[in-house]
C-alpha cells in the first residue's frame, strides 16, 4: 500500500519539483498540494494523508501553527517539517507543535524519502544537523529557557499575531477566523499586554524573531 503524502509549501515550483521527485518512488503517492498552512489543515482533514511535508515559513498560517492544528484535528497524520531554518528555536517550536520529523531544505531526495518513510512507520526523524542543534540546545540552555519562546501566547493569539503582522485588518482577520471583530480586538489587546509591545512594527519584529511569520509573503 502506498504512503499518501500532502505537500505544503508557498512556492509552486518547490511543490511541483517535490511532486515529480516523490512520485518516482513506487511506495509514495502525492495526493494534494497546499500553498499555505490554512489550506494544509483543510486538505489534511479532507484527505487524511499519511504524511504531510510541511514548509515552516508560509503566509496566512505558518507551518508550526498548521502542524499544531493538524495534530489536534487529524492525529493520525504525521507531519515532517521541511525548512530552511536549522536554529534550535525553530526546531523546538515545530517539534513541540507535534511534528514527527524535521529536515532542512538542502537535504537530498534520498534523505527526504527516508524521512517520510520513517515518520510514516511511526518513528521520529531528524536530519543529523538538526539533531545536533537540538541536543546542543538542550544541553546548553538553562532550565528556565527550555520552554519554547512562542508559548507565552495561546495558539489562537499566535494565529492572530501572524495575520496582523502580514497586514490584514481586524475585519479581514475576523472573517478569516470566523469570529467577531470584537474577539479579534480582544486577542490583539491580550497579545500586546502579554508581550508588553504596543505597536505593529515591534509586533512584526517579535513575530519574525520567533518564526511566527515568514520573512517574505
Residue 143 pLDDT level (bands cut at 50, 70, 90) = very low
Predicted local confidence at residue 215, as pLDDT: 56
Predicted local confidence at residue 217, as pLDDT: 43
Residue 157 has pLDDT above 50, yes or no: yes
Domains observed in the chain? 3-140 (3.40.50.2300), 149-209 (1.10.10.10)
**What is the torsion angle, in degrees rounded to the nearest 10, for the CA atoms of residue 173, residue 157, residue 89 and residue 93?**
-90
21-30, 76-85, 86-95: which has the minimum mean pLDDT?
86-95
Decide: 52 and 70 in contact? Cβ < 8 Å: yes
Rg (Cα) of the chain, in Å, rounded?
17
Residue 29 has pLDDT above 80, yes or no: yes
Q: What is the mean pLDDT of the chain?
A: 86
Decide: 36 and 59 in contact? Cβ < 8 Å: yes
Highest mean pLDDT among 13-27, 154-168, 182-196: 13-27
- Residue 36 CA to its chain's centroid (Å): 10
Q: What is the pLDDT of residues 185-216, one digit of tens each?
A: 898 889 888 888 888 778 887 887 776 776 55
> What mean pLDDT comes out for the span 100-110?
92
Please tell me which residue, 121 or 134, carries the higher pLDDT value: 121
33-47, 101-115, 143-157, 200-214: which has the minimum mean pLDDT?
143-157
Please tell me which residue, 91 or 132, carries the higher pLDDT value: 91
Predicted local confidence at residue 144, as pLDDT: 44
Query: How many whole angstroms separate alpha carbon 52 and alpha carbon 204?
Result: 28
Query: How many whole angstroms separate alpha carbon 40 and alpha carbon 53?
Result: 10
Q: What is the pLDDT of residues 62-80, one digit of tens each?
A: 999 999 999 999 999 999 9
Decide: 66 and 54 in contact? Cβ < 8 Å: yes
Amino acid at each position: 500500500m502506498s504512503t499518501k503524502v500532502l505537500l505544503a509549501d508557498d512556492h509552486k515550483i518547490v511543490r511541483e519539483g517535490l511532486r515529480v521527485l516523490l512520485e518516482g518512488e513506487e511506495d509514495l503517492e502525492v495526493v494534494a498540494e497546499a500553498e499555505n498552512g490554512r489550506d494544509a489543515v483543510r486538505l489534511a482533514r479532507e484527505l487524511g494523508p499519511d504524511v504531510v511535508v510541511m514548509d515552516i515559513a508560509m503566509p496566512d498560517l505558518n507551518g508550526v501553527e498548521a502542524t499544531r492544528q493538524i495534530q489536534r484535528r487529524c492525529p493520525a497524520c504525521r507531519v515532517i517539517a521541511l525548512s530552511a531554518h536549522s536554529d534550535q528555536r525553530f526546531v523546538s517550536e515545530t517539534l513541540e507543535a507535534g511534528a514527527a520529523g524535521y529536515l532542512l531544505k538542502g537535504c537530498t531526495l534520498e534523505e527526504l524519502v527516508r524521512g517520510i518513510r520513517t515518520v510514516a512507520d511511526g518513528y521520529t526523524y531528524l536530519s543529523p544537523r538538526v539533531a545536533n542543534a537540538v541536543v546542543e540546545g538542550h544541553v546548553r540552555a538553562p532550565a528556565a529557557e527550555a520552554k519554547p519562546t512562542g508559548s507565552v501566547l495561546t495558539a489562537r493569539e499566535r494565529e492572530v499575531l501572524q495575520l496582523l503582522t502580514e497586514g490584514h485588518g481586524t475585519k479581514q482577520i475576523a472573517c478569516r477566523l470566523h469570529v467577531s471583530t470584537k474577539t479579534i480586538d480582544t486577542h490583539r489587546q491580550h497579545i500586546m499586554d502579554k508581550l508588553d509591545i504596543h505597536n505593529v512594527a515591534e509586533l512584526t519584529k517579535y513575530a519574525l524573531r520567533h518564526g511566527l511569520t515568514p520573512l517574505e509573503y
